[in-house]
Amino acid sequence: MKEYYTENTKFTLSKYSIYRGSTPISSRIPPAFPYICRIMIIQENLSDISFSTDLIIQALTSSPSPTSIYSGEDMIIRFANEGMLALWGKDSSVIGKPLMEAIPELEGQPFLDILREVWYSGKTYSVSEAPAKLIKNGKETLDYFDYEYKALTDHNDKTWCILNTALNVTSDREFLQQIQKKEEREQIHNEEMAATLEALSFTNEELNNSVKQLAQSRENIRTIIEQAPVGIAMLKGPEHIIEIANPAILTIWGRTEAEVIGYPHENARPELKDQPVNGWLREVYHTGKPKINTEFLVKLRHNDGLRDAIVNSIYQPIFSDNGEISGVLIILEEITQQVLERRKNENDQQMLALAIDAGKLATFYYQPSTNLFSGNALLKTWFGLSSNEDLDLSLALAMILPEDRERVIAAIKKSLSINSDGNYFIEYRIKNNTDHKIRLLQANGRVFYDTKGNPLSLNGTLRDITEQKREEERKDDFMAMVSHELKTPLTSLKAYLQVLQRMATKDQNLLQQNTLEKSLKQVDNMTGMINGFLNVSRLDSGQMYIDKTRFDFQLLFSEIEDEVLSITHTHHFLFKDSGPVEVSADRDKISQVLHNLIGNAVKYSPTGSLITIEYFTIGNSLKIKVHNPGKEILAEDQHRIFERYYRVKDINTTSIAGFGIGLYLCKEIIELHNGTIEVQSSQNEGTVFSFVLPIDTQKIK
């Protein structure tokens, strides 16, 4: 309880009320304004004054934006409207307490340091989409906010309080507070003010002091209005003369102060003709009932025309000391961008849901801190759960077949580790306790982090690839069988063609020589294709072996250059030789990889273009690059281009022969050498396939 005195009257300020003697003056003045409240209005004839400390408190309390006021180094909470209390998850008992005592969960978060910096510097601090952990209903929640700390300074540029406004942008909830009628409180306040004025009107000197205090109070309130982040305007009389309009509302209106101050609202803003705003102002003035609008679409002035805007607005009647309506208070907040972004997000969410349903994808969510594992209805069906049932990770792992379980645990730990890139990709089998069906799932996810880099959750999708794998196995079996059956007759055919070619050469029959040369080339192409299928089959059965030998890569590079230049005449080639490099690798298979990459470059680049092949060392590794100026490979295709049987779906490539196994074999061969292979592609630079081989420094025994 604090007491304030004038010469003849003692005033007592409790937590929420001011008393003269034992009689309450105001029941809703928060502790933010003891120094405002002691500046009492002591003028007898003030019935025409439409602006008071209590009215501003009423306006701030009724603001649709969460608002609070702090003072002092410890950030004493002097004022917090209902929106801010709801945002904190607290009640009014926190008012009057230091911020960290009132909201202890803010410990370890940057808010107190930022507030102190604003307090000392007087500079406004604002931020968008900042995280904050708060405890609501006993549960810690992480929300994101657009908020602003604005220092209110006196004529000496010294901060006397900080105005805090915030907007929760995490969900679609609206941030408007209902403005409650205050006629009874205002009547009590008017009676107390009248009694105070009568008691303080004994001398002219006291009256003059009161007038000075009133002027200072009005100036302080005007300063608050001017610096408020929401639009505030005061209209006087039935003509709605614009008496006050702060910079925020002028920006929203698209007007300057000179264009509106002192003019009737309807004349100053002709763009509102045929819009309901002026009708609402008349209704509020004549009925005394406030008008509140949320997400109201209005056309506002913009340059020389109009623009569509979405606003939250409050039209509040202003009552004079005798209880008569003297004007209308306007509080305006433009939320156009927030609403458009929210609607876009809602549309994106709907499109994502449609895509997930169409693709028959299960979505999963894993939270390391709680070990919670959950997802959509399809995931719960696969794991044998009811629609309203969640499970922790250990129960989910129990559904994975034992031979796959450790791999999954290791993959999850790796994706959540400090040095991980946050990506999660693995294939594994599950068997639930409901339908006992074994499913082969492909998991693809990504880790999300907090501001300190700690993992918050692992989110992603699951795809049932059981039938896809079976189809691939059937295709592989068929290809292996056909390849074996075709290889023998092709060998015989090639031998016959070679005999005919020698006869044609002996007879100097150029037509037959050219025809037979083309036929042998096609036989070689068919043989290469069959060998590719056989290699896939051997790879699946674990029978593809790497026969490493030590050789000079420069010699292999020179041989490939001679072969390519002698066979391919439709393109230009640039082979960049970097000198002798001794490597330990399977010479034939590395040659196969290079031929495949060069062949693809020829197939997918324009006739007559330049294809560049080069190699160079990087530390203890050898890097080989094949660059072609062909059409860009899209990012979604780049991620899958090394998959078995995958081909880029492009109308310009449908006529190019192939089964999608060449790059798959290249990847497997390079990985069997403990190397890596990748693709980079852009519209202007073309496409570069490159692979890296470790240089084995050990001598061959």
The reported pLDDT for the residue numbered 388 is 72
pLDDT bracket for residue 483 (50, 70, 90) = low
pLDDT digits (tens, 9 = 90+) for 67-86: 999 998 889 999 999 889 98
Which amino acid, residue 526?
M
pLDDT value at 676 more than 60: yes
The reported pLDDT for the residue numbered 482 is 60
pLDDT digits (tens, 9 = 90+) for 344-381: 888 777 776 676 666 678 888 888 888 888 888 888 88
The reported pLDDT for the residue numbered 304 is 84
**Higher per-residue confidence, 185 vs 92:** 92
| Residue 116 in tokens | 């102190």
Angle formed at CA 38 by CA 32 and CA 39, multiple of 5 degrees = 110
d(CA 205, CA 59): 33
The whole model's pTM is what? Answer: 0.35
Q: 666 and 532 in contact (C-beta within 8 Å)?
A: no
Alpha helices in 228-276, H assignment, sequence order: 247-253, 257-260, 265-268
pLDDT value at 289 more than 90: yes
| 314-324: average pLDDT | 90
| Residue 27 in tokens | 């029941």
Give the CATH number of domain 228-340.
3.30.450.20
Nearest to 694 by CA among 606, 614, 588, 582: 582
pLDDT bracket for residue 466 (50, 70, 90) = confident
Look at the domain 549-694 and name its fold: Heat Shock Protein 90 (3.30.565)
pLDDT digits (tens, 9 = 90+) for 549-569: 999 999 999 999 988 887 788
In the DSSP assignment, the letter for residue 92 is: G
The reported pLDDT for the residue numbered 224 is 79
d(CA 307, CA 305): 7
pLDDT bracket for residue 660 (50, 70, 90) = low
| 644-657: average pLDDT | 59
CATH architecture of 359-464: 2-Layer Sandwich (3.30)
d(CA 234, CA 332): 12
pLDDT bracket for residue 18 (50, 70, 90) = very low
255 C-beta neighbours (distance < 10 Å), count: 19
Written as one string, the DSSP assignment of 39-87 is: S----S--TT----HHHHHHHHHT-SS-EEEEETTTTEEEEE-HHHHHH
Total count of residues recorded for the chain: 701
Of all residues in the chain, what percent carry a pLDDT higher than 70? 76
Helix count and strand count (H, E) for the chain: 21, 27
The per-residue pLDDT of the chain, averaged, comes to: 79
Calculate the alpha carbon distances from 237 to 154, 240, 249, 282 in Å. 31, 5, 20, 10
pLDDT digits (tens, 9 = 90+) for 36-53: 333 333 333 434 444 566
Lowest mean pLDDT among 289-303, 431-445, 637-651: 637-651
pLDDT digits (tens, 9 = 90+) for 507-525: 888 888 788 877 877 777 6
Query: What CATH class does 2-184 carry?
Result: alpha beta
Nearest to 269 by CA among 289, 255, 257, 286: 255
The reported pLDDT for the residue numbered 533 is 60
pLDDT value at 333 more than 80: yes
d(CA 667, CA 660): 12
Residue 167, helix vs strand vs coil: strand
**Higher per-residue confidence, 54 vs 34:** 54
Question: 18 pairs with which residues across the strands?
Answer: 13, 26
